Every structure is written in structure tokens, then in C-alpha cells.
A = this chain, B = another copy of it.
Amino acid sequence: MIKIVLLGAGNLGFHLTANLLNNKAIELVQVYNRSIEKIDYLKNKVEITDKLNELKKADIYILCVSDDTISEVSSKLNFPNSMVVHTSGGTSLNELKSNSKKGVLYFPQTFSKKRTIDFSNIPICIETENKEDLIILHQFSEEISKNIYFINSEQRQRLHLAAVFVNNFANIMYKIGNDICSNTNVPFDILKPLILETASKIGEISPYEAQTGPAKRNDTKTISKHKKLLHKNQKEIYTLLTDFIIQSYE
């Protein structure tokens, strides 16, 4: 059974802890967080600590800490025979400063404490410093998900950037849509099936093929009507994205 110590109690740490506690092929031996209060809810299920020098022995130490503390936290882990992995999309494997084996376990997914997450459908992108260490990281990943990819630091950085577009930037489009609806007393719920269909569609056809709307048709009449309805910042975004779509389909 693979022994795990998990460090961090942010959104990913929270969900991954819950998953590992229910995973029969994995032994979660300890959860660390710098503030113990945040993991107090776990104390009857697993050993908890807020002291890095009290960490137990494990096969893999999984850092679910913020990007800028990866170097510092990893430098305090002294387990030469174990593996230390971080879970950051935008951080190179080399930011790990421990004397342990090094790896990365990246889940390209958005985690919110309020949403339950089915890890079996979330892809896991793995990387290790030494090829031979891939075995255990792959073995661990297989217990969590069906979709495992070997992605190096360079690729992962770009994948993380692509994720910003499809997730963070798509979501801010939802927010602007919501704001426009609120201002005209139209329930945002009307747009939810459209949002789901837009996302589902690209399971079957490419985003290039899936594009529709006034910008794609270069429908200048509708575009200029729309611009008149928008606030300054919204209008700037509308104009830039419309021009980008027009150019993409020229």
C-alpha cells in the first residue's frame, strides 16, 4: 500500500485528502498544514500536524501548498528515499528543493470547496526527475484517475496557461454575461443551458468548428448595436474578442 503524507489544505488539498481517505489502495498517514485549525476537522480520521519536523515516513509527500512556498516547504523535507511532488501547473519540477526524489502531480481542474469532485475523470499529468521514479507515481495516480499523461515541465507550463484561457477566462465571460442579465432584470438561469452546451459541444467538434455568432459572421450591424449597450471595460473586451474572431475566420 502506498503511504502518503499530504501537505496543504487549500481547495486541492481539501478534495485530495477526502479522496485519499476513501481510497483503499492508499494509506494517508498524515496531513500537514501550517495552521492546524484548518485541518482540525480531520483529526478523527487521520493524524494531523502543523510542524514540518514532525512529519511521518511515507512513500510520497504531496505538496498542495501555494506556488510561492513550494521551494521553502520542500527544502525542509529530508526523506532521501521518498518522493516529494508538487501539484502546481505553472511551476517547474526544479523548484522542488528537497534531497528526496522529485516529481510533479498536476490536476488540470478547478476545485472549489463547495463542489464535490469525481477524481476518476480528472486527468493527472505526471513528471519525475528520474525516469525510474515514474513507476510509483504512475501507480499512485492509477488509483485515483483513469487518465494519466506524461507531461514535462515545459509542456505543463503551457498547459497551465491554456487552462487559464479555458477556465478562468471562460468563467469571467460568464460573469460579464451574469452582470448584463442582472442589469436588465433577466434571470441568468436562461443562459445556463447555453453555457453547458457550449462546453459540451467541443467534446465532439473542435472549438474552431464550434464557433458561431455575430463576430464569426462579421455581422457589423449587430456588433455595433451590441457595443452601444456595453460599459467601458466590457466594451473593450467585446471589441478585442470580436476583432480576434473576425481575423481568425477571414
Residues of A within 8 A of B (CB): 11, 67-68, 90, 108-112, 114-115, 117, 121-123, 125, 147, 149, 151, 154-155, 157-159, 161-178, 180-181, 183-216, 219, 221-222, 225-226, 229-230, 233, 236-238, 240-241, 244-245, 247-248
Contact = CB atoms under 8 A, between A and B. Distances in A.
Number of copies: 2
Contact of A164 (B162, B203, B226): B226
Contacts of A225: 90, 157
B176 A165 contact: yes
Nearest to A68: B221
11 contacts: A11-B212, A90-B222, A110-B194, A114-B209, A117-B197, A155-B186, A161-B229, A163-B177, A171-B202, A172-B211, A198-B199
A4 to B, nearest CB: 23
A212 B112 contact: yes
